Structure 1
Amino acid sequence: MIAYSLRRIGSGVLLGLLVTLITYWLLSFSFDGIAANLLGPAANPESIEDLQTELGLNRPLLMQYFDWLGGVLRGDFGTSYFTSEPVGPAVAQRLSVTFSIVLIALVISTILSVVLGVLAASRAGAVDRAAQSVSLIGHLLPNLLIAIALVVVFSIQLGWFPATGFTPFTEDPAAWLASITLPVIVLVINGVANMSAQVRGTMIGELQKDYVRVLRSRGVSTRAIVYKHALRNAASPALVVLSLEVIGMFGGAIIIENVFALPGFGTFAFNSSLQGDLPVILGIVVFGVFLVVSVNLVTDLVNGWLNPKARVH
């Protein structure tokens, strides 16, 4: 397992190098636009060229990339062209906002999905229909529409939660909870829709297998069969969906944070992409690769713990 983990980490590093190099190459076609955005409406070809020289954007592409890579290896991700913030601390600050939403939504979504999926598969009837209805509604309604509906009902009409803004936990825990409640609900609805259907389908498949019939013939209780045997075997494929949901929630944060005016990672990534803020975009790409590799690695390790057949030696 250690050798496998090291191979996955190594492949993740190579993936990061490849993705950041391709990103740098693609952004190189917009270097003129980046300089023009920095200079504003008064920009002219001469001033654009002078600024490119000052920023080092007119040097050979590989030289620029390896200079940036050398800084990353030293822990320096550069400085934002537009805000003059160091990229590393700027990304970390925004991530604290996004993590406070995504992690809570992920925990709630996982618990609800497992409960709904297991009940729907083991009891059928009204419980199954209710679980499928929840999944269908979550799939049919986009996050943007759900977010707007929640703001209209719970913020504008009822006044229970703020429509926009974010309060750090250290300043006021109650205000922090109120500011993240609606964004979390939006992510939970979508997360439960995705994961509960997978848990339900996998559990139905497990409960139809021969080992379940053998356990029943030996007098093992339905509760023990469902929670001790079937659920453990169904956890592996469900974990794959969970890992995808983690990544998907960070993608969904772009929409959610813009709707609720949250100063999180999604909003920061969106605005930086529109501006062409090269150092910030590259820092965001590095984090994206790190997130994907880390989530996949953790998923594989947990799978190996749950299912010995999945272990890689």
Structure 2
Amino acid sequence: MLRYALTRFGSLAISLLIASLVIFLVVEVAPGDPASYMLGLNAQPDTLASLRAELGLDVPKIQRYLNWVGGMASGDFGTSYTYRTPVAQMIADRLWVSLPLALYALGLSVLLAFPAGLFAAARRGHTGDVAVMSATQLGIALPNFWFAMLLVLLFAIKLRWFSAGGFPGWSNPALAMKSLTLPAIALALPQAAILTRVLRSALLDTLAEDYIRSARAKGLSRRQALWRHALRNALIPVLTIIGLQFSFLLAGAIIIEQVFFLPGLGRLIFQSIGQRDLIVVESVVMLLVFAVILVNFIVDLAYAAVDPRLRAR
């Protein structure tokens, strides 16, 4: 197990290094100069040069990359070009919106998917199974930002049960959770559809095993065999998908945060791209990549803990 963990950790470190290099190169190649954006088109050359030196943009790109990576390794994400505040503080403020939103959406996804997957597996080939699979196909095909706009039209504009956007802060937790409800539902729908199909397939594969047939031969009904034996053994691939979904929800809520005007990491990326605040864009994207890779690493370790066959690889 230790050898497997060290191997996966080495893979994690290499992935982070490659990701940091790709992110830096892509952002730096993008057209537009932050200093020129801040001073405008009519800025004097000496003023522009002075600002570039103040922002650290006058040093070679390789030196800027090394300074950026070294700073992140020590917890220093740099200073925003636009707001002149530490990027780490900006990320911490926005994370208190994006992280609860991701957890909320993941919780809703699990609450929707488990009953639906169990229901479909227990009624394979019947009308209920067909209805659930049709609904999940629709949930996967439906763009979540379009579904988010439908939720706003119905529950915010017509029924006035929720606000159309914005975030009041955590001084009132109930009001804060209410403001995250519609975005969480919009994010959870496609993830619940995917999880439902995975759970149904895992359950049906498990129900075809010999030990399930033996349990049925001893007198257990299909539903009893499903609950007592099949569900526990079908959870391994399902838990893997749940872990991957969390990282996706944390990193993939950018458009939903724009629709609902939530001050999260996704909206921060959009604003920073428009303002050419390169250090913020690079740091936030790198943080999201790190979250995705870290969750995958934890899922791999958890998978190996319950499946000894993986440790020998």
Confirm or deny a common fold (TM above 0.5). yes
1:251 and 1:294, CA in 2 relative to 1: closer, same or farther beyond 3 A?
closer
Per the alignment, residue 98 of structure 1 pairs with 98
More moved, 184-193 vs 17-26: 17-26
Per the alignment, residue 257 of structure 1 pairs with 257
Per the alignment, residue 300 of structure 1 pairs with 300
More moved, 236-245 vs 142-151: 236-245
Per the alignment, residue 148 of structure 1 pairs with 149
Are 1:20 and 1:285, in contact at CA under 8 Å, matched by a contact in 2?
Answer: no
* 1:89, distance to aligned residue in structure 2 (A): 1.7
* 1:239, distance to aligned residue in structure 2 (A): 2.9
Residues 121-174 of structure 1 show CA distances to partners (whole Å, capped at 9, x for unaligned) of 1223233123213212212221111111111111111111111111223x1122
Structure 1: state its 5+ residue gaps. Answer: none
TM-score, normalisation: structure 1: 0.90
Pairing 1:38–2:11 present: no
| Pairing 1:1-313 to 2, within 5 Å after superposition | 1-30=1-30, 32-43=32-43, 47-124=47-124, 125-169=126-170, 171-311=171-311
More moved, 79-88 vs 34-43: 34-43
TM-score, normalisation: structure 2: 0.90
Are 2:250 and 2:288, in contact at CA under 8 Å, matched by a contact in 1?
Answer: no
Q: Which amino acid aligns with 1:163?
A: A
Q: Which amino acid aligns with 1:288?
A: L
Are 2:108 and 2:184, in contact at CA under 8 Å, matched by a contact in 1?
Answer: no
* 1:31, distance to aligned residue in structure 2 (A): 7.2
* 1:45, distance to aligned residue in structure 2 (A): 5.1
1:11 and 1:44, CA in 2 relative to 1: closer, same or farther beyond 3 A?
farther
1:262 and 1:304, CA in 2 relative to 1: closer, same or farther beyond 3 A?
same
Instruction: Give the distance between the partners of 2:7 and 2:222, measured in 1 at CA.
Output: 41
Q: What secondary structure sits across from 2:252 in the alignment?
A: helix
Instruction: Give the distance between the partners of 1:27 and 1:180, measured in 2 at CA.
Output: 31
Structure 2: state its 5+ residue gaps. Answer: none
Instruction: Give the distance between the partners of 1:62 and 1:102, measured in 2 at CA.
Output: 35
Identity %: 38
Q: Which amino acid aligns with 1:147?
A: A
* 1:50, distance to aligned residue in structure 2 (A): 3.7
Are 2:106 and 2:188, in contact at CA under 8 Å, matched by a contact in 1?
Answer: yes
Are 1:304 and 1:312, in contact at CA under 8 Å, matched by a contact in 2?
Answer: no
* 1:46, distance to aligned residue in structure 2 (A): 5.0
More moved, 146-155 vs 273-282: 273-282
* 1:305, distance to aligned residue in structure 2 (A): 3.9
- What is the RMSD computed on CA atoms of the aligned residues? 2.2
Residues 64-95 of structure 1 show CA distances to partners (whole Å, capped at 9, x for unaligned) of 22222232232211011111121112112111
* 1:254, distance to aligned residue in structure 2 (A): 0.7
Q: Which amino acid aligns with 2:138?
A: I
Q: What secondary structure sits across from 1:269 in the alignment?
A: helix
* 1:302, distance to aligned residue in structure 2 (A): 2.6
Are 2:195 and 2:242, in contact at CA under 8 Å, matched by a contact in 1?
Answer: yes
Are 2:166 and 2:262, in contact at CA under 8 Å, matched by a contact in 1?
Answer: yes
